[in-house]
Amino acid sequence: MSDARNQARAVLEGPDIHRALTRIAHEILERTRGAESVVLIGIPTRGATLAHRIAGRIAQFEGIKVPVGAIDVTMYRDDLRLRPARPLGRTELPPDGVDGRTVVLVDDVLYSGRTVRAALDALNDVGRPRAVQLATLVDRGHRELPIRADYVGKNLPTSKSEKVKVFLEETDGRDAVVLIKEDDR
Amino acid sequence: MKHHLISTGDLTRDDALLILDTAEELARVSQRSIKKLPTLRGRTVVNLFFEDSTRTRISFEAAAKRLSADVINFSAKGSSVSKGESLKDTALTLEAMGADAVVIRHSASGAPHRLATWVRGSVVNAGDGTHEHPTQALLDAFSIRRRLGRLEGLKVAVVGDVLHSRVARSNVLLLHTLGAEVTLVAPPTLLPVAVETWPCQVSYDLDAVLPKSDVVMMLRVQLERMNAAYFPSAREYSRRYGLDRDRFARLHDDAIVMHPGPMNRGMEISAEVADSPRSTIVEQVTNGVTVRMAVLYLLLGGSEPAIGGAE
């Protein structure tokens, strides 16, 4: 599809993302009484990047080192058979694991909720957390499962025909959340 | 549509790297307490073994089970095959049972290729005659990459009974695709016709090749196939082509020794070499399960296979 047909609009720029993550970090500290026994687990690839950023802020605010990890959910997805088999992401758990901890799952965009469901299953196979919470940079609505986020960077009303793309410095060279409108042909 | 894994020659560089990278991630799963993944739930994998091979069958079985697939083991002994059923009829029976993948080991080269024309599911070659054994080559490449960190530009010597070895052919094709330089070392009687058309060097002199090699892959002398006199005596073979302590000492310090197993200790490889820390023989077995998981996932995990040759 040509660019002329696609309208891309940045809904969050670098500073907005920074502020959103700062707020999420504060909220996590507030709601978990100083991030006690918290583990941040990102969903690759961008969720994992965001988890590291949030951990960095928590360290900066309170001087606490929160364990960070990543969990790949590809093998647990319910839509595997709708597309060709895809490459796997990296799973990296903190050395002390997740048993008895409060796991905060981190993803970039919350949409149908299916990725989070897969992540809950994947988490179940690596340990038994005391509680699981969910942080997302963008909540774009249209949930298909009874799942909601505990920490939201920005609620973004979208239509299903639109696409939300998150760019992050570490992987994409810049920070932005872009809403792409695909016009009907 | 890409469907089967019959020859490593069908794999592009990207296919092969996708398998190795997938296996690398799956290796992490093998380290945790719950090793099972739900990915192939409801899929059926048939292990169709016309030749004895405990280790390959068990490896495929473990791989399929770790991905939650249902596994049916079918061995020719004591089955309808011993009553004279043809490969085609066996295939149609499996088809009727709803096999999503058939892993086949057969003494006839080309059997998996024929099978692929009769069944709808994916066919994985687990060794056919003297032709190929692609998952063995993949696990060898994976083991090399894990030990030495790369494959590109490595010098690999494949030593021994190349003539009867499906492992050698699959390895030459795959390692060539992945950028390694392979040298086959064997007595002239144990080299196949037209070996000069293979993408590799050939040498009769193990002692000349050893000091230049990063990887030495010893092949099993297939005594069961030695119905003609390929070499004067086992002792003479061992003296010229066996990897013993003295030859091992001539390898450079980082070089590794591999063997697809089962070994004839004292024949092509001495016990001391086989058990040294620079031998990868035990981890090759562990890696076998991981690599076969990757292959089954990539063939069966999605709406269509992500790797393999087209039929």
CA of A11: how far to CAs of A17, A164, A166, B120, B230, in Å?
10, 9, 10, 48, 74
For the cut 90, the answer to whether the pLDDT of residue B52 exceeds it is: no
Catalytic option among B28, B32, B77, B83: B83
Binding-site members of B for carbamoyl phosphate are: 55-56, 105, 133, 136, 261-262
How far is CA A13 from each of CA A58, A152, A159, B121, rounded to the nearest angstrom? 22, 16, 21, 49
Task: Give this complex's ipTM.
Answer: 0.85
Q: What is the CATH number of domain B134-280?
A: 3.40.50.1370
**CA-wise closest residue to A140 among A120, A113, A158, A153:** A158
Looking at residue B124, what is its pLDDT?
96
Q: Which residues from chain B sit within 8 angstroms of residue A89, using beta carbons? A: 25
pLDDT for res B311: 43
Number of Cα atoms under 13 Å in the Cβ half of residue A135: 32
Q: Which of B21, B29, B302 is closest, CB to CB, to A80?
A: B302
Q: How many CB atoms lie within 10 A of CB A174?
A: 10
Closest partner residue to A76 (CB to CB) among B38, B297, B303 is: B38
pLDDT in tens, B60-109: 999 999 999 999 998 877 666 667 778 888 888 888 888 999 999 999 99
Would you kindly state where each structural domain of chain A is located, as residue ranges?
Answer: 6-74+94-182
Coil, strand or helix at B229: coil
Band the pLDDT of B1: cuts 50, 70, 90: very low
**Is residue B13 among the annotated active site residues?**
no
Interface list for chain B against chain A, based on CB atoms closer than 8 Å: 18, 21-22, 25-26, 28-29, 32, 34, 36-39, 67, 297-306
Inter-chain contact B301–A88, Cβ cutoff 8 Å? no
Q: Which two tokens stand for residue A161?
A: 């025909």
pLDDT digits (tens, 9 = 90+) for A59-109: 999 999 999 999 999 999 999 888 888 899 999 999 999 999 999 999 999
B148: burial class by Cβ within 10 Å (0-12, 13-18, 19+)?
Answer: middle
Residue A1: pLDDT above 50?
Answer: no
* Catalytic-residue membership of B133: yes
Contact by Cβ (8 Å): A69, A40 = yes
CATH fold for the domain made of B2-133+285-310: Rossmann fold (3.40.50)
A6-74+94-182 domain in CATH 3.40.50.2020?
yes
- The ranges of chain B annotated as CATH 3.40.50.1370 are 2-133+285-310, 134-280
Token pair 């997805």 is found at A77
Would the pTM of this model clear 0.95, i.e. be above it? Answer: no
Residue B37 above 50 pLDDT? yes
